[in-house]
Amino acid sequence: MSFSNLGLSDKVLAAVAATGYTIPTPIQEQAIPHVLARRDVLGIAQTGTGKTAAFVLPMLTLLEKGRARARMPRTLILEPTRELAAQVKENFDKYGAGQKLNVALLIGGVSFGDQDTKLTRGVDVLIATPGRLLDHTERGGLLLTGVELLVIDEADRMLDMGFIPDIERICKLVPFTRQTLFFTATMPTEIRRITETFLHNPVKVEVSKPASTAVTVSQSQVGVGREPHQKREVLRQLLRDAKDLKNAIIFCNRKREVALLHKSLQKHGFSVAALHGDMDQSARTAALDQFRKGELPLLVASDVAARGLDIPEVSHVFNFDVPHHSDDYVHRIGRTGRAGRLGTAISIVTPADQKSMLAIEKLIGQPIPKTEQIAISEEAHEEESSAESSGKPHEHRKPRNGQRSRRGRGKASTETATAAPAIAAVQPPSIGRPPPPRATREQHSEPADHSHLPAFLLRPVRARG
């Protein structure tokens, strides 16, 4: 079947043809006719299946009729991260080039004033992250009563990031009669409850079973010891020995580990960028642009980059840390082997990761082959220690469970407080240090005032000999 058989408008078909696409993917073939028929759609598909175009193309056809009003968007697309929101906007810019549609992006890290100006002009398509969207509605600068079509994308990622209460609030702000498109790669219990609450007699489109991995991705695991330097040396050897490595994403579980590994790889001569949630938007955008353009072939990232980012032709994915949640493994390795291309995914597994690996194998329904453990030479250990001794931060123990650090009583977590921008040197954490001693009266230049004390306390006391 070709795109011309799906019911899309001539303008949209011309835009698709200009990009070189001729045959729709399975989810596009199944979802687009139902979207054009104004049905609610529940789409279940793994990453890399063309899911974004499955709702962008029919939306462009539907929006050819009608006109936007000030501060009242006609359609709303919710994304869990800034990068995903920006990526969806790129799709509208590409496929909607021949249409005069106003597309606005509401994400953090951008001026409220600039966003408010765009909303005032009237918006046909509003693409937003939940937090920034609610900020605008609470300020009174945005009304959702005119939304005709609502898209909730990467719903399982929304769940992981704690956005489900925000999604529920937003769904109550849009009209009950709107059309809803709901896309997810997995269907945990909470996501199932949301679909039953906010979708009306949806058409279920499932092109792969939940939490399946692409057959185009070759998976393997490499065992290492418990020490951090062993993991870093194994990763370097894997990078040097990898066949057909064009570029690679290296995933870590914590933002702090992203910064440390990024600096370690740089010290060993690798061209690498970093991406994690504590970086400001301009730094995140710059890192992604450098990686997409091939200026830097390696990207060290936290799971902020794991879901939905369409970075073309990623040849390899390395799990430097085995993810704590099995679903995250599926999304991480989904960054490679996209659009029918071949890809490679390698996980570095310590003895402490065995339980997580068993859970991952159970989820995806297949064993992950083990390769021979890479030997770590003493010279490599010394090289690692020498390379990082000048910049590696001093390690501090975190407070035990149930204890609160005296200086860490703000909203920021230990991880946030200790993480640093990827390009800057990582600074030692302040959490866990004792507070500075209070100044005594003797340290003040002013004389002590004893007028408030009772007289018997001011009598001199004789020291016993």
Q: Looking at the structure, do residues 8 and 58 belong to the same domain, yes or no? A: yes
Whether residue 124 is predicted with pLDDT greater than 90 in this model: the reply is: yes
Beta-strand relationship, 316-319 and 343-349:
parallel
Does residue 430 belong to any structural domain of this protein?
no
Q: Which domain holds residue 370?
A: 217-388
Q: Looking at the structure, do residues 261 and 286 belong to the same domain, yes or no? A: yes
Task: Kindly report, residue by residue over 135-159, the tens digit of the pLDDT.
Answer: 999 999 999 999 999 999 999 889 8
Closest listed residue to residue 405, CA positions, set 393, 421, 420, 417: 417
Q: Looking at the structure, do residues 197 and 230 belong to the same domain, yes or no? A: no
Domain at 197, CATH number: 3.40.50.300
Domain end position, chosen among 206, 240, 256: 206
Q: What is the pLDDT of residue 368?
A: 96
Does residue 431 belong to any structural domain of this protein?
no
Q: Region 357-371: what's the mean pLDDT?
A: 93
Q: Looking at the structure, do residues 265 and 156 belong to the same domain, yes or no? A: no
**Cα–Cα distance for residue pair 148/63, rounded to 1 Å:** 10
Domain end position, chosen among 167, 187, 206: 206
Per the prediction, the chain carries an average pLDDT of 82
Burial class (CB in 10 A: 0-12, 13-18, 19+), 281: middle
Structure tokens at 3: 């795109």
Does residue 429 belong to any structural domain of this protein?
no
Q: Region 352-375: what's the mean pLDDT?
A: 90
Q: How far is CA 302 from CA 126, 199, 328, 412, in A?
A: 27, 32, 11, 18
Go through the chain and tell me how many residues it has: 465
Does residue 434 belong to any structural domain of this protein?
no
- In sequence order, the β-bridge partners of residue 347 are 221, 319
Does residue 40 belong to any structural domain of this protein?
yes
Whether residue 33 is predicted with pLDDT greater than 50 in this model: the reply is: yes
Within 8 A by CB and 6+ apart from 121, the residues are 70, 102
User: Residue 77 — very low, low, confident or very high, per pLDDT cuts 50/70/90?
Assistant: very high
Structure tokens at 450: 């004893």
Q: Looking at the structure, do residues 378 and 285 belong to the same domain, yes or no? A: yes
Q: Looking at the structure, do residues 37 and 112 belong to the same domain, yes or no? A: yes
Q: Looking at the structure, do residues 22 and 143 belong to the same domain, yes or no? A: yes
Q: In the chain, how many domains are there?
A: 2
Give the percent of the chain with pLDDT over 70: 78
Q: Looking at the structure, do residues 239 and 95 belong to the same domain, yes or no? A: no
Does residue 309 belong to any structural domain of this protein?
yes
Question: pLDDT higher for 389 or 61?
Answer: 61
Does residue 298 belong to any structural domain of this protein?
yes
The residue written with tokens 């498109």 in the block is 181
Q: Looking at the structure, do residues 16 and 162 belong to the same domain, yes or no? A: yes
Domain end position, chosen among 206, 237, 256: 206
Helix, coil or strand: residue 421: coil
Within 8 A by CB and 6+ apart from 193, the residues are none
Q: Looking at the structure, do residues 191 and 227 belong to the same domain, yes or no? A: no
Task: Kindly report, residue by residue over 311-341, the tens digit of the pLDDT.
Answer: 778 999 999 999 988 888 988 898 898 877 8
Does residue 133 belong to any structural domain of this protein?
yes
Question: pLDDT higher for 382 or 265?
Answer: 265
pTM score: 0.65
